[in-house]
């Protein structure tokens, strides 16, 4: 029997917004995922400390994906004491899966360009395929360090990704120029973020008085 197809979207989700959710859903449909795990980073190694706690960011993701198959929240990075390295997350997922299951790591273009700075980044493709989401604000070229990798590993059609791991494909999605930075700023200035985040996330932000102080 063919294995499961599982997408993985890590992020700070500070807070989760419709850019993440539409991107996740569209890629899940295009690639026929059995599940797509959204994995909040507890201690993101490459950026400033998030504005709200890991538990609150996890709670918001859980509310955002409730009842939205095949999206699921995955709390494994909150259970580790160490920085949230993607390679360790993939290793821990792989340890739970069957050999024929396929893992697809979904990265926005900006995240993909930063890959050469990641802990043990060259091992990532041993565990998964990489899907790069094209984002509206992405107009830069891939960094030098990624050119050889792209030449060797990228395939033109994401449907043509073969085997359990090892290849890279680009996925186009409906552009939504939304960022968590913009949402935090609006909230800090007392403006509405209605329709930029799901209503359940907005209710959580209001109930817990999050992002009120100006950034």
Identify which of residues 68 and 176 has a Cβ nearer to ligand ATP in the complex.
176
- Reported as type and span, the H/E element at residue 111 is helix 109-113
Q: Residue 23 CB, nearest distance to ligand ATP (Å)?
A: 4
Which range in 108-116, 123-131, 151-159, 190-198 contacts ligand ATP by CB under 6 A? Answer: 108-116
Q: Which H or E run includes 180? A: helix 180-188
| Residue 191: other Cβ atoms inside 10 A | 10
23 binds ligand ATP (CB under 6 A): yes
CB of 99 to ligand ATP, least distance (A): 27
84/98 with CB nearer ligand ATP = 84
Cα–Cα distance, 89 to 193 (Å, whole number): 31
For residues 73 and 164, give the distance between their C-alpha atoms in angstroms, rounded to a whole number: 22
Q: Pairing between strand 129-133 and 168-171?
A: parallel
Residue 110 in the binding site for ligand ATP (CB under 6 A): yes
Does 178 help bind ligand ATP (rule: CB under 6 A)?
yes
Is the CB of 181 or the CB of 206 nearer to ligand ATP?
Answer: 181
Task: Report residue 130 CA to chain centroid gap.
Answer: 11
Under the binding rule (CB under 6 A), the answer on residue 205 touching ligand ATP is no
Please tell me whether residue 63 binds ligand ATP under the rule CB under 6 A. Answer: no
According to the binding rule CB under 6 A, does residue 193 interact with ligand ATP? no
Q: How far apart are CA 36 and CA 42, in angstroms?
A: 19
Instruction: Point out the residue whose Cβ comes nearest to ligand ATP.
Output: 108
Contact call for residue 211 and ligand ATP (CB under 6 A)? no
Taking the CA atoms of 92, 97, 100 and 104 in sequence, report the sign of the dihedral they define: negative
Name residue, tokens 């817990």.
208
> How is residue 170 written in tokens?
């680009």
Which of 8, 125, 135, 211 forms a contact with ligand ATP (CB under 6 A)?
A: 135
Question: Judging by DSSP bridges, how do beta strands 129-133 and 35-40 pair with one another?
Answer: unpaired
Interacting span for ligand ATP (CB under 6 A) from 68-76, 151-159, 179-187, 206-214 = 179-187
Where along the sequence are the contacts to ligand ATP (CB under 6 A)?
A: 11-14, 19-20, 23, 107-108, 110-111, 133, 135, 176, 178-181
């Amino acid at each position: 029997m063919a294995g499961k197809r599982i997408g993985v979207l890590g992020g700070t989700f500070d807070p989760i917004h419709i850019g993440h959710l539409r991107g996740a859903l569209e890629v899940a449909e295009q690639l026929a995922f059995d599940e797509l795990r959204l994995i909040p980073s507890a201690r993101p190694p490459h950026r400033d400390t998030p504005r709200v706690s890991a538990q609150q960011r996890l709670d918001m993701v859980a509310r955002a994906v409730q009842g939205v198959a095949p999206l699921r929240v995955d709390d494994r990075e909150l259970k580790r004491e160490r920085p949230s390295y993607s390679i360790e997350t993939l290793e821990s997922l792989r340890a739970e899966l069957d050999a024929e299951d396929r893992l697809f790591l979904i990265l926005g273009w900006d995240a993909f360009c930063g890959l050469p700075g990641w802990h043990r980044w060259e091992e990532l493709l041993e565990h998964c395929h990489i899907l790069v989401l094209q984002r509206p604000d992405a107009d830069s070229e891939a960094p030098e360090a990624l050119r050889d990798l792209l030449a060797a590993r990228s395939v033109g059609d994401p449907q043509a990704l073969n085997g359990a791991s090892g290849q890279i494909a680009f996925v186009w999605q409906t552009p939504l120029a939304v960022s968590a930075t913009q949402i935090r700023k609006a909230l800090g200035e007392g403006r509405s973020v209605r329709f930029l985040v799901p209503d359940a996330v907005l209710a959580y932000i209001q109930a817990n008085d999050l992002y009120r102080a100006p950034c």
